[in-house]
Structure 1
Amino acid sequence: MEKSVFEKEWEIYFTQCYSNGRIRFSDLSNILQLTAGEHANAVGFGFKEMAKHNQTWVLSRIRIEIARLPKWMDHVKVKTWVQELEGARSTRNFEITVNGQIYVTATSYWAVINTVKRSSETLAISTEDFTTYPDRPATQQPFSKLDISQTVKNIDEYSVKLSDLDIVNHANNVKYLDWCMDRLPIELVLTNQIRSLEMNYLRELRYNDNVEINGDATDQGYFMTVTKQQRIHFALAIETK
């Protein structure tokens, strides 16, 4: 298989699972992102190479469509490819299979930022020999810009902790999902009712930032936000079956 399409096999460990034995949604998202990182490293525009130019990839939007959640001891195969790559932007797709059966698909939108200026800029590394697949989507629907004007109710408050931070020194994006899922009705999370998750990452959060976690039921399922001083930093749309 050419290097522009990448595959990685992961085993699901019990520490990655909810009490029902199915993988946590945050760990599912993390596996996708770890696979994306390994692919980027393999083709020369991963973390270390980009750090030489004070650059990194930042996840901006992701849509995950779930037919079935992997469970403890499953060996999952994650396949990933880039649909579009231009300037400071990239669209990357994923497919998760277990024993050849598609369990999960995802599409994601990434931006290149300068880690010193904290602003978007064009990728400094040449991608001339890298093949993209503009006609190869993975999900039934593309990622979107969520309507953040939706009405939500305050559920909880939270202060960003050391364990939430990643190597770029901001709250890792999978943490936002955990904060939200922990505040949903437990039966919604544990009874395989979730058909899709769509997330928009709007602004970063730092250590000790105080945030509000908000949410409300919608016609499709549930909508949640993480806000700081009334500005939305993260939005999550959950579609239920």
Structure 2
Amino acid sequence: MPVSKDFQSIYTKEWEISIAQCSINSKLKYTELSNLFQLTAAKHSDLGGMSFFDMQTNDQAWVSSRIRIEINDLPQWHEKVQIKTWIESLDGVRSVRNLEMSQNGRFLAGGSSLWVVLNTKKRRPDLIALSHDHLNKYPDLKATKTDYQAVDLTLETEKVADYKVKYSDLDIVNHVNNVKYLEWCLDYVDIRLLENNSIKSLDMNFLRELNYNDLVSIEKKEVQNILYFYIKKENTICFALKIELSVTDTQNK
């Protein structure tokens, strides 16, 4: 598609929180926060002439490599939020994108994300084929206090579950969608921490693709107010997650 007449390098979209996106405390689920960030980024790419289908003309797609989400508060059912997004940098293979959720000017959550161009036939990183000269980049405009970062991959973890990848886990790129990894791990977090909105930040590293019927293990390590999760296939880490919790809430757990 050509670049939309409505395209802007800094894009804002309003969302109304639905009941299907909420947890039992009526607040937005952490997985749905991540999903809304993903959907907003995708819409911005669509308007900018860099949608999945545009990229597929060259057998390419954007895939998430790392993301950090910092959370101040979460909206509730029926409430409206605004998500703003912009490109920090784009160097040919990688792009850094920022996202910010607010409500009537009040900051709720921010995201710093690293995306990689994947050749969907070769299943490896590729130089972007589409022109991106029309995109303004904002290297000094940040949505988080800390940029996306690498999760420690050297910890001794304990297996909490085995899992087999299902059809419902897959996305349009024919691999496990990034939100699914987070969902699998959060199922093994104390429900009291989830319902008290105790998560302050999420760092996610997407290291290797997972595909339909893959067998994986979900592993966990707790260090003070930090939870670590690894998702492994044949002892190789495919996804790593670091969850920073409120110190007060972990003491009261």
TM-score, normalised relative to structure 1: 0.98
Write out aligned runs for 1:115-154 (5 A).
115-154=120-159
The correspondence for 2:19, drawn from 14, 25, 34, is 14
Gaps of 5+ in 2: 1-5, 247-253
Amino acid in the other structure paired with 1:157: D
Write out aligned runs for 1:26-41 (5 A).
26-41=31-46
TM-superposition CA deviations, 1:154-178 (whole Å, max 9, x none): 1011111111111111111100100
TM-superposition CA deviations, 1:113-156 (whole Å, max 9, x none): 10000010111011112100011111011111111111211101
Once the two structures are TM-superposed, the CA of residue 220 in structure 1 deviates from its matched residue by: 3.5
Question: Do structure 1's residue 106 and structure 2's residue 106 form an aligned pair?
Answer: no
Once the two structures are TM-superposed, the CA of residue 190 in structure 1 deviates from its matched residue by: 1.1
Check conservation: 2:7, 2:48, Cα contact below 8 A: no
State the distance in 2 between where 1:124 and 1:168 align: 18
State the distance in 2 between where 1:191 and 1:35 align: 26
Report the equivalent of 1:23.
Answer: 28
State the distance in 2 between where 1:46 and 1:59 align: 14
The correspondence for 2:91, drawn from 74, 86, 89, is 86
Amino acid in the other structure paired with 2:170: L
Report the equivalent of 1:193.
Answer: 198
State the distance in 1 between where 2:27 and 2:231 align: 25
State the distance in 1 between where 2:77 and 2:223 align: 31
Gaps of 5+ in 1: none
State the distance in 1 between where 2:154 and 2:178 align: 21
TM-score, normalised relative to structure 2: 0.93
Once the two structures are TM-superposed, the CA of residue 2 in structure 1 deviates from its matched residue by: 6.9
**Identical aligned residues as a percent:** 44
The correspondence for 1:238, drawn from 224, 237, 243, is 243
SS at 1:49's partner residue?
Answer: helix
Report the equivalent of 2:221.
Answer: 216
The correspondence for 1:43, drawn from 33, 48, 51, is 48
Question: Which contiguous aligned blocks of 4+ residues in structure 1 show a shift greater than 4 angstroms?
Answer: none
Report the equivalent of 1:170.
Answer: 175
